[in-house]
Chains A and B, each alone.
Chain A
Amino acid sequence: MTENPDFFDLIRQYAPNIINKVPYANTLGFELVDLEPGKAIARAPYKPETIGDIETGIIHGGVVTALLDNVSGVSVIAALSEMKSTATLDLRIDYMRPAEVGRDIIAEAECYHMTRTVAFTRAWAYHESRDRVIATASGSFALNTIKGFPANTGEGS
């Protein structure tokens, strides 16, 4: 991965759109918390309408899946040195413990390797820190050059 500070400034401006302008991420209330080269942190609020287990009030794993997918995609964007579109190839999620009722979920992701065509990510979902993870994820993303960037914006994950 080549670092390009000027390009990262551009990414920093553009990255929140990958969450804020994505309808599904919006519906779930996701927000981007932090961005560094190759790293991203996002938050999902606790929403009663996304409860997956009526007995306990625990939110559905699908929300964690969506958050980890989204934040992993953003970490790939944050690792780019030229604008490319990203598409998830695969995502594996391991569930360690249930999320706690009533608490926001934080997810952090890092893009740890990138070739011309594929990027590899790791991600963690938790309430407070990586010491007590709710779930971990590893993903791979296909990269495609975008003709005519920056005219073309609004890539999702």
Chain B
Amino acid sequence: MSEDILQRQKKLQDYLNRTPFADFIGFKCEIMGDEMTAILPFEEKIIGNPSIRALHGGATGAFLELTAMAQLFLLSDEVSLAKPINLTIDYLRQAKAENLYARATVTKQGRRIANVHAEAWQSERARPVATLSAHFLLGNGE
């Protein structure tokens, strides 16, 4: 890591502030050193099943994807968010009509490709509602 972590934090926050989709789903994050906790505040519009008041799998998935991209950005020298190559989302429990939290771990960061895992939870950290495993293309998409 050639840049100062504080600079990266600022760059990440700036980048997220300028990304319409992050604003659209209401993505927020708290950055502590090189670790970030992402927050998706509950809103009616991210409901997927009105009869049981469950969040949409696509909203949970997009949130995890953005969390993974943000954490990777924080730990790299990239100028923009990395492009996803593929991702797998495991839905473990029903996500309730409540805030969603997530953290991501960069498992491997190569020269071209990075592997990232992320976990989302609600009221209990030890009971994740969904996990994500993804590969991203580094080198700013070239």
Contact = CB atoms under 8 A, between A and B. Distances in A.
A94 interface: yes
Interface residues of A, number: 43
Contact of B19 (A52, A67, A94): A52
A152 B49 CA distance: 12
A92 B84 CA distance: 12
A63 B21 contact: yes
The SS class assigned to the B binding surface is mixed
A153 B20 CA distance: 33
Interface stretch (A6-14, A20-28, A32-40, A74-82): A20-28
Nearest to B88: A92
B12 to A, nearest CB: 14
Interface of A: 21-28, 48-55, 59-63, 65-67, 69-70, 73, 87-95, 98, 152-157
B27 to A, nearest CB: 10
Contacts of B94: 87
Contacts of B55: 24
B120 interface: no
A91 B94 CA distance: 15
